[in-house]
């Protein structure tokens, strides 16, 4: 097991989880949204949507792309590892009213999370709650005046933008399958379309630091992706990967052993096994082993608990928990929709019933639960 480095956030070790922030006797979270089960009108709308989306599952969404093809925020024709934005990329695939990336077509890239505004809002909330949990610390690797940084799977680009603000002399590049990043960014930050599961076109020994975050279920061969990062890092450069597990846990016995969260974890395990794209990146320190396999040295890791709900007594962790609960409640359908219906083959109605149970679990004020995030970082040896 890799060396564990202390942080200011509550931590766990893989062998013996630490206790969570202390619970309060009074729950102060905002009142839960009513009700978990759909209304008759909602059921009728859902049935209508199912009829539309039965076959095929995905449908192109026609968009006006005349102005988007020349968006300077997405890089120019000389930018490294950049795909031009064609109308097909912007004709997002649809599944039960949610949109998904269309980079290279569904038969080439299987990414399970939506790219619509609803899910992107949850990504931004997640970025904020992690900033709160980590006291605005964007990385754990011991960086010193980086000049070129790559953010793989940048999503809405919030981490890349914050990093570029913190290091104005550093060139920060964020890559993703979808052009969902903002146009107004720091002058030292740019975004490019790229599929990191394919061989990278960045040159050897190019970056000082390569960052991954929230990438579970993305790649079939993590060691191969890490090897590409190794090649593209300068000698002495650092890689860092921060991700979560599918677990919702508790340390004080308040969470029964047979909650819906057990099934939630099982769903992601089965879907990852079926896709060949595991969701168990942080579990059992898997990413630590893969980093070492790719050649990285001085690999260290740490784990952080993010409470679900406002049960912690500590004001900081109470706020983290409130944002976490809000993010999960709003994003839970997007997290589960594709893998439950398209990968595991459940009916849409079955998925909605299950999601309602998960939401009810998240709202349970008697359960002092938390999610687990992990970060691992390592260095490319000097040659």
At 276 the pLDDT is 92
At 116 the pLDDT is 76
What is the mean pLDDT, run by run of 10 residues, along the chain of 383 residues? 41 36 40 37 34 27 34 35 48 67 57 74 93 96 96 94 97 88 92 89 96 92 96 98 96 94 95 92 96 97 96 96 94 87 91 94 95 97 89
Q: Are strands 171-176 and 189-193 parallel, antiparallel or unpaired?
A: parallel
Q: Annotate 134-188 with DSSP letters as a single string.
A: TTT----S---S-SEEEEET-TTSHHHHHHHHH-TTSEEEEEESS--S-S---TT
At 33 the pLDDT is 35
At 70 the pLDDT is 36
| Tokens matching residue 91 | 């004709």
At 77 the pLDDT is 33
User: What is the rounded (10 degree) CA torsion for 71, 229, 284, 341?
Assistant: 40
At 193 the pLDDT is 85
Biggest alpha carbon–alpha carbon distance for the chain = 66
At 88 the pLDDT is 54
Compute the distance between CA of residue 258 and CA of residue 293 in angstroms, rounded to an integer: 36
Give the list of residues 6+ apart from residue 238 with CB closer than 8 angstroms, or none. 141, 142, 143, 208, 209, 210, 377, 378, 379, 380
8 Å CB contact between 28 and 310? yes
Compute the distance between CA of residue 363 and CA of residue 325 in angstroms, rounded to an integer: 8
Centroid of chain to Cα 197: 16
At 60 the pLDDT is 28
At 229 the pLDDT is 98
At 177 the pLDDT is 82
Look up the pTM and report it: 0.76
């Amino acid at each position: 097991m890799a060396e564990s480095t202390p942080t200011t956030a509550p931590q766990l070790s893989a062998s013996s989880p630490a206790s969570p922030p202390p619970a309060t006797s009074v729950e102060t979270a905002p009142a839960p949204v009513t009700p978990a089960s759909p209304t008759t009108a909602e059921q009728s709308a859902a049935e209508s949507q199912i009829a539309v989306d039965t076959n095929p599952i995905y449908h192109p969404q026609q968009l006006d792309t005349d102005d988007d093809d020349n968006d300077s925020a997405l890089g120019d024709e000389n930018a490294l590892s950049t795909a031009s934005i064609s109308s097909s990329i912007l004709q997002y695939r649809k599944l039960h009213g949610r949109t998904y990336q269309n980079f290279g077509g569904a038969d080439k890239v299987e990414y399970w999370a939506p790219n619509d505004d609803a899910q992107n809002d949850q990504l931004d909330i997640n970025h904020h709650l992690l900033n709160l949990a980590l006291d605005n610390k964007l990385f754990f690797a011991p960086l010193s005046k980086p000049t070129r940084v790559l953010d793989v799977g940048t999503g809405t680009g919030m981490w890349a933008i914050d990093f570029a603000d913190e290091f104005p002399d550093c060139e920060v590049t964020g890559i993703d399958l979808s052009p969902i990043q903002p146009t107004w960014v720091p002058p030292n930050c740019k975004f490019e379309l790229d599929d990191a599961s394919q061989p990278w076109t960045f040159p050897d020994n190019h970056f000082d630091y390569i960052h991954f975050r929230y990438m579970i279920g993305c790649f079939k061969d993590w060691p191969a992706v890490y090897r590409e990062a190794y090649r593209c890092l300068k000698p002495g450069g650092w890689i860092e990967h921060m991700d979560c597990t599918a677990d919702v846990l508790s340390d004080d016995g308040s969470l029964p052993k047979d909650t819906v969260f057990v099934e939630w974890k099982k769903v992601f395990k089965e879907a990852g096994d079926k896709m060949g794209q595991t969701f168990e990146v942080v579990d059992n320190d898997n990413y630590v082993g893969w980093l070492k396999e790719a050649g990285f040295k001085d690999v260290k890791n740490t784990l952080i608990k993010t409470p679900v709900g406002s049960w912690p007594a500590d004001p900081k962790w109470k706020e983290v928990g409130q944002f976490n609960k809000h993010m999960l409640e709003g994003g839970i359908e997007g997290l589960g929709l594709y893998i439950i219906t398209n990968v595991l083959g459940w009916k849409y109605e079955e998925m909605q019933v299950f999601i309602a149970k998960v939401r009810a679990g998240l709202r349970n004020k008697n359960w002092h639960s938390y999610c687990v995030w992990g970060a691992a970082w390592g260095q490319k040896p000097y040659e």
